[in-house]
Structure 1
Amino acid sequence: MPLRNLLVILLAAAVSIACYWRASRNRYVDNLTQAMNLIESQYVDEVELPKLYEGAMEGMVDQLDPYSGYTNPADYEKLLEDLDQEFGGIGIQVEVKPDTGRLTVMNPLPRTPAYEAGLKAGDVILSIGGQDTKSMTINDAVRLMRGKPGEPVTIGVLQRSSDRPIELTIKRAIIPIESVYGDLRKADGDWTFRLASHPEIGYIRIATFGERTSDELRVAIESLRSGEPKLASLVIDLRGNAGGLLRAAIETCDMFLNEGRIVSTNGRGDVQLSAFDASSGVEFPTELPIVVLVDQYSASASEIVAACLQDHDRAVICGQRSWGKGTVQNVIELGSGKNRSAMRLTVARYQRPSGKNIHKKTGAVDADDWGVRPNPKLEVNLTDAQFEQRLVNRRSRDLLSAEDAAAGKPTSETVAEASTDVPATIAPQGEEPPSSTGSSSESETPSDATSESPSETSETKPAENQPAEETPAASPKTTDKLPTPDPFAIDPQLAKAIAYLQSLEKK
């Protein structure tokens, strides 16, 4: 047979095989399209194709694993805001008071339009854009207060110090979402990154790992270089941190390590996809000891940081065993314009430097190797009551009222006065990293490890660490008074960390 004929036959065979596989795959697409068309034309009630599409996408992706999923257009915009750590709004944290049913300001965020307009903790929001807030849901209120930066919104307010309602027209602005917090706010709204009762110990809380986390962390570390007394050690609090951007977690680790593997990722067939090593040089002195606090809601990117610093003996871990999420999700954009949605797809598993497993597989028991365990003698498990008290106390210390700031008083001195605006108890979540046990942000926090693109994020967020604009708070279950402003009396995990660091100073 002539060579030319043989080549023609082989080419035809290759095209046939390609067409077969393409037809095989398209068969499912055709069936799905047919089913949607049949439902649209024959179902007993009218249906909307977008809802059918979203339901089909959710059902398909939900078959994969707990962390893959479909994000509809409305939620996708919110997800992007979470990753970017900013959104358009006025800058307040709110709750619905259970006794009045009215939207009430918990906290105006420093240096935001709401703060500059004079809104204070305890002020009642009577209307938004002319709409009465009586019986309005938190989500509806958040939607009305948010908008394009530069556009005004009119808020009807009954101030705590007055009995006459007023109207404030506030111009929306870009509201940055903090991801790094300290122990207390200063009068100007900035954080103090030292423990108030132990100023020789630095204290940095990381609520999520976002686009600006590494920059915020550098500012926090830089602030610790000055001041008295001389810094002796550091506590990094990752409790309630459900994750975020993989890149931010890697950059965080790199600030504390001179060399060595930070994390690696493996894809299908356990083939290594990427590996990340520390660069030379550190942001924080290598001679100063570090304790990393984790709990059962520390997940994904926060586990990367905790595991890395533990494996390199750069820090000890204190608290409770972490969540156990060792997978990476890519957020893949679908569609365009206002119809943009996304698919969160698990694409890899990550490995800690020691090679130990982090991911908690279905059916795993306590004896199995998963999560990040506290170092010996540093495990502190909290009861539900202790967990709730810690969250309430932490949130109360985070509040900043305008009059207190104007008077130059630190937040801790005014906690009792602000108690009516903080829920008395916050129930912990059991099945997933908490999406918001105390308050849920208008821009919720990304929680799964994410790669260079807006990827590897989950939809959960930390329970105690996140102030956010137009943020709802859980209704109080009791009328108990707030605990003492001193966190160590009701935070056994932090107390254990401090005791450990103090024992090192005595050696």
Structure 2
Amino acid sequence: MGRKIRYGLVVLLAAGLAAVFAGAERSEDSDFRLGRNMEILMNLFRDVNLFYVDSVSPDRLLEDAAAGMTGKLDPYTEYIPEEEMDDFEIMTTGKYGGIGSLIRKKGDWVVIAQPYKGFPADRAGLKIGDKIVEIEGQDARGFDPARVSALLKGDPGTTVRLKVERFATGKVEPVSIRRERIVISGVPYHGFVADSIGYIQHSDFTEDCSTDLRRALAELRSSGRLKGLILDLRGNGGGILQEAVKILSLFVPKGTEVVSMRGKFEQLDATFKTEGEPVDTELPIVVLTDRGSASAAEIVSGALQDLDRAVLLGQRTFGKGLVQSTRPLGYNSYLKVTTAKYYIPTGRCIQAIDYAHRNEDGSVGYVPDSLIREFRTRAGRKVYDGGGIMPDVRTEPRYVSRFAMILYGKGYIEDFVDGYVKRHPEPVDVERFALSDADYADFTEFMKDKDVEFRSESKLALAQLREKAKQERYLDRIGPQLDEIEKGLRDDKESNLKLYRKELSQIIEDEIILRSHYAQGVTRHKLLSDEEVKQAVELLGDTARYRDILSSQDTARK
């Protein structure tokens, strides 16, 4: 695609931007300061490069200067050098030239972590755990994942030659894989979770993800039994705004205003209305959200809430109400810059963090309660701005313990699963598989000689409380109580393996299922025990409650 960037709002904003600046009224003082500072910056760059005692990289100087210039604006404004544009394209479009597999480091080697179903790596027979020992004649020992990834990627139609040590047999075999244009779907899974309740998992707002969702919805409808839909936006970090508008076009009447954006220049303000004919404007919908639902995911969920078109269930969303566009800087480098804030149909902006007003120490804070404003949905329900989208039905967030994260991060769970799969090579039943007591006992035995450095958050907090009590001379008075509390906070490995058995078992089950049923199988398995999905199914089955929420229930303020 060369360097014709088509991401997000770039095409929309770039045209006419020069005219905006040319027509903008600028004071002479502002013009003078801009010119003065640009000259100082260029002189600074030149003199550091020429006179600094050691050799410096001009590229590194530029990247450091850009980081300093953008670092105190917001986390989303950044300089993108030419060498990072391929990664930016993948992140934004979900497309790249390669073999279609995740990889990870294990010891001195890089191994296959997850081949995408139906893509070149999968069709070539690569499996999880297969070790890449050679790439194009190069010994791959000691290569890091970034280097291997760069060698595996390439122009579609070209071939990459590997030698792979098979996980199952230990034999080293040559493998030639023809690269393809890898398109990562924004809808990794869809299906029915009850007799008449459909489910669509939507993971990101990359290019053409709306087409994926339209296709999934059509497939569910074609069964003739779809009476309710669960749209899962949990963990969806957002992406292209126009894709959000296209997705909303599936569920609300043509011509409905769903989002607008406003920034420094009125000439760049825009209002977005649905353009296509909807697929279904009556189908009951429950949208699942959590703290990982951000940006375009908040546009979709927030607009459906404002229009009383869907019930939101889960946790408050992240609160990213900022719009970025991409500006060319020359030499195939770009600036991704925040240019506006977006507003959903009620007129509320859900931006949670106020980057424009920093504290004296440079830190930023959330929008204070005193500035949170009330808005009304189409049916007159109260909703609020200033901190993400508050769901209509709130649930408690699901946390993964630090202990489980440490075991997973150290590779202990994957190592155990490697052994399990070698002992049980036959595929498991996705619907019925569960780790048995004997299997978990094997895992506990496996962990006996493993090093696990762990202190729970509770114990860390207790240590801080003890130190504060000592400083403030309360320790003599409350020390015995703190000692009793500490006795109950056992952080030894054996106790934690018992305490966190349920979540560790679930993680192990997912890893075992992944080996033979891909990511789609893992999702199917998780849905069987997903409490929020169960609540959504119950809500869609209770027509009176569903309608009552959409007609009269206000959301919580905070």
Shift of residue 348 of structure 1?
0.6
Q: What residue in structure 1 maps to residue 509 of structure 2?
A: 482
Deviations 1:429-465 (A, max 9, x none): xxxxxxxxxxxxxxxxxxxxxxxxxxxxxxxxxxxxx
Shift of residue 209 of structure 1?
0.9
Query: Which of 191, 209, 214 is the equivalent residue of 1:194?
Result: 191
Shift of residue 300 of structure 1?
0.6
* CA distance in 1 between partners of 2:184 and 2:161 (Å): 23
Q: What residue in structure 2 maps to residue 162 of structure 1?
A: 169
Q: Does 2:498 align with 1:503?
A: no
Q: What residue in structure 1 maps to residue 144 of structure 2?
A: 137
SS at match of 1:155: strand
The code of the aligned residue for 1:245 comes to: I
Deviations 1:463-493 (A, max 9, x none): xxxxxxxxxxxxxx97963269642564322
- TM-score, normalised on structure 2? 0.65
Shift of residue 408 of structure 1?
11
Query: Which of 302, 306, 331 is the equivalent residue of 2:301?
Result: 306
Q: What residue in structure 2 maps to residue 374 of structure 1?
A: 391
Deviations 1:37-68 (A, max 9, x none): 11112111101111111211221122322321
Deviations 1:113-150 (A, max 9, x none): 21221212332222223333333322122112112222
Query: Which of 257, 260, 263 is the equivalent residue of 1:267?
Result: 263
* CA distance in 2 between partners of 1:138 and 1:328 (Å): 32
Gaps of 5+ in 2: 1-25, 355-364, 373-385, 409-413, 415-425, 441-446, 448-502, 514-521, 547-558
Deviations 1:379-421 (A, max 9, x none): 33223349989xx9xxx9xxxxxxxxxx99986578979x9xx
1:365–1:64 Cα change, 3 Å: closer
Query: Which of 205, 210, 213 is the equivalent residue of 1:217?
Result: 213
* CA distance in 1 between partners of 2:544 and 2:402 (Å): 28
Shift of residue 81 of structure 1?
2.7
Shift of residue 157 of structure 1?
0.8
* CA distance in 2 between partners of 1:272 and 1:137 (Å): 44
Q: What residue in structure 1 maps to residue 252 of structure 2?
A: 257
Q: Is the 8 A contact 2:262 2:268 kept in 1?
A: yes
SS at match of 2:269: strand
Deviations 1:292-330 (A, max 9, x none): 111101111110000001111111111110000101011
Structure with more of its chain in helix, by fraction = 2
Query: Which of 67, 70, 95 is the equivalent residue of 1:58?
Result: 67
Q: Does 2:90 align with 1:81?
A: yes
> Comparing 42-51 with 479-488, which one deviates more in the overlay?
479-488
Query: Which of 399, 415, 420 is the equivalent residue of 1:383?
Result: 399
Deviations 1:327-364 (A, max 9, x none): 1011112213xxx1111111111111112230013322
1:243–1:415 Cα change, 3 Å: farther
5 Å-filtered alignment, 1:331-342, equals 331-336=326-331, 340-342=332-334
* CA distance in 2 between partners of 1:289 and 1:278 (Å): 19
* CA distance in 2 between partners of 1:306 and 1:126 (Å): 46
Shift of residue 24 of structure 1?
4.7
* CA distance in 1 between partners of 2:402 and 2:532 (Å): 10
Deviations 1:52-109 (A, max 9, x none): 1121122112232232111222222211233232111111122234xx4532223222
* CA distance in 2 between partners of 1:350 and 1:214 (Å): 20
* CA distance in 2 between partners of 1:163 and 1:22 (Å): 68
1:155–1:348 Cα change, 3 Å: same
**Identity of matched residues, %:** 31
The code of the aligned residue for 1:319 comes to: G
* CA distance in 2 between partners of 1:45 and 1:24 (Å): 32
Give the paired residue count: 403
The code of the aligned residue for 1:344 comes to: K
Q: Does 2:41 align with 1:49?
A: no
Deviations 1:189-221 (A, max 9, x none): xxxx223x5242111111111211111111111
5 Å-filtered alignment, 1:287-326, equals 287-326=282-321
- TM-score, normalised on structure 1? 0.71
The code of the aligned residue for 2:218 comes to: E
Gaps of 5+ in 1: 1-16, 183-192, 397-406, 425-476
* CA distance in 2 between partners of 1:322 and 1:172 (Å): 38
Shift of residue 249 of structure 1?
0.6
Q: Is the 8 A contact 2:367 2:387 kept in 1?
A: no
SS at match of 2:334: strand
- RCO higher in 1 or 2 (8 Å CA, sep ≥ 6)? 1
* CA distance in 2 between partners of 1:300 and 1:199 (Å): 32
Q: Is the 8 A contact 2:302 2:389 kept in 1?
A: yes
Q: Is the 8 A contact 2:98 2:180 kept in 1?
A: yes
SS at match of 1:481: helix
* CA distance in 1 between partners of 2:299 and 2:183 (Å): 25
The code of the aligned residue for 1:286 comes to: T
The code of the aligned residue for 1:343 comes to: L
* CA distance in 2 between partners of 1:19 and 1:270 (Å): 22
1:258–1:129 Cα change, 3 Å: same
Q: Which structure: larger Rg?
A: 2
SS at match of 2:542: helix
1:494–1:366 Cα change, 3 Å: farther
Q: What residue in structure 1 maps to residue 34 of structure 2?
A: 25
Q: Is the 8 A contact 2:157 2:180 kept in 1?
A: yes
